[in-house]
Structure 1
Amino acid sequence: MAMRKPLDKAILTALLAGGLTLATAATAAPQGLYSADELTDAEVYGKDNPSEEIGDVEDVLLDDNMQVQALVIDTGNLLDMGSKQYVIQTGHFTVETENGDDLDNIEYKVHVDLTEQEITQQPEYTNDWWNQTKQATAKAWQNTKQSAESAWQNTKAATSELLMDAGQAIDKAGEKTQQAADDAADNMGGNN
């Protein structure tokens, strides 16, 4: 249990830093601060019967930016399919807070906007899923990083070219102005 406390603090910090991308229930006002410890093990309710518990939160998944990407819910024996854990992406659930003013008694309810059948079609939380998703996410992050660097370098090169072109145009304009001034001086000198 002592090992879990640093993880809880890290998740809470991540939730705060990431702005907790969890939405609150339509009838509840945003709380502004959420406890990762209390969110883990929160009761989960599905779209089919919003008052019947279908499982609980097993884990909170964060991305490289420390923002919540998904919840893992343990469904018990949902649709008689045996106890399984499913990954529910952010955007498919809301969090309702109860006793939000009392840290010792704070509780959350997670409402999934999917039917029980749709929940069973979500990715199952397994080692294979974890490893594949972790690799795909890392690759996507690297591609995004490289694209951003490439875009920055292209922007920097284009800006440099524009500045060089502008400098050359100014030099040419200066040369023409100087030439016009010299011509005017010559013409004035010849008229005297």
Structure 2
Amino acid sequence: MTHRSFARTVLATSIGLLVGGLTVAGAHAQFDPQGLYSNRAILDAEVYFEAAPDSQPSEIVDILLGDDMQVHALIIRTHEDVGQDGDYLVITNDHYRLVNHEEDGDTTHDVLVDANEDALGAMPRYDQDWWDMARQRARDAWHTAGEGAESAWHQTREGADRIGEGAESAWERTQEGAERAGRAVSDLLNNWTNND
């Protein structure tokens, strides 16, 4: 256990080595696709900030998914060392990377947040008001960009039951609308600042 703790400490101060894909203290960090990811393993990941490389790890407390069934943001409870007063930050996909560690056949993850202090200060704080407003804005973006596409959460079984070439075309149009709407939701969240 001491070896793993040491590897994580070295990781927090060696972001440059990780980008190069080098081995750090015997743990091999990878940015390669893993195929499938466990939500539980990602929630267990430690979070490190480019703006505060010497800080203690922060933690993921939630993962936000859209109607397109895609991850749009992580909710991070910042450690006090990060300089954000222990706030809960909304970190969109554009601002973090997932690092995979393979050790003794087990895969674990760390999250590296690529944002300077100014960018961190501008990121939305996660609270009930933000949640209510974000859900409404995301819903509006979904309906506007998706041109009537229904939530993928509601369409999964219905799509599997459709038969025939005409139904396949309709399903493809629904998928295209859902993809447009998903991009609109991502854009909405990526452009949202703490001042909104």
1:123 aligns to 2:89 (yes or no): no
Q: Give the corresponding residue for 1:56.
A: 59
CA distance in 1, matches of 2:91, 2:37: 18
Rg: which structure is higher?
A: 1
Q: Aligned runs of 1:171-190 on 2, under 5 Å? A: none
Unaligned runs of 5+ in 2: 1-17, 22-29, 150-196
Whether the aligned pair in 2 keeps the contact of 1:41 and 1:57 (CA below 8 Å) is yes
Shift of 1:54: 4.1
The partner residue of 1:40 within 29, 38, 43 is: 43
| Superposed CA RMSD | 2.8
Matched residues, number? 125
Three-state SS of the structure 2 residue aligned to 1:139 is helix
Match of 2:164 in 1: none
For residues 12-70 of structure 1, what are the alpha-carbon distances to aligned partners after superposition, in whole Å with 9 as ceiling and x for unaligned? xxxxxxxxxxxx96622222221110101311111134464441111111110110101
Written as runs of structure 1 = structure 2, the 5 A alignment for 1:43-122 is 43-50=46-53, 52-99=55-102, 102=105, 105-122=106-123
Q: Whole-Å Cα distance in 2 between the matches of residues 25 and 69 of structure 1?
A: 23
Q: Verify the 8 A CA contact 1:43 1:53 in the aligned structure 2.
A: no
Q: Percent identity?
A: 33
Q: What TM-score comes out, normalization by structure 2 length?
A: 0.55
Worse-superposed segment, 39-48 or 73-82: 73-82
- Mark the runs of 5 or more structure 1 residues left unpaired by the alignment: 1-23, 149-192
- Which stretch has the larger CA shift, 66-75 or 111-120? 111-120
* In structure 2, C-alpha distance between the alignment counterparts of 1:90 and 1:26, rounded to whole Å: 21
Q: Distance in 2 between matches of 1:48 and 1:81?
A: 11
1:137 corresponds to which residue?
A: 138
Higher relative contact order (CA 8 A, sep 6+): 2
The change in CA–CA distance for 1:93 and 1:80 in structure 2 (over 3 A counts) is closer
Q: Could you tell me how far 1:119 is from its partner in structure 2?
A: 1.7
The one-letter amino acid paired with 1:43 is E
1:146 corresponds in structure 2 to 147
Name the SS of the counterpart of 1:91 in structure 2. Answer: helix
- Give the TM-score of the pair, scaled to structure 1: 0.56
Cα distance in structure 2, aligned partners of 1:48 and 1:76: 13
Question: Can you list the C-alpha shifts for 1:91-146, whole angstroms capped at 9, x where unaligned?
Answer: 110001112773xx432110010124422320001000000000011011111233
Q: Which amino acid aligns with 2:107?
A: I
Q: Is the 8 A contact 1:86 1:120 kept in 2?
A: no
Q: Distance in 2 between matches of 1:106 and 1:71?
A: 20
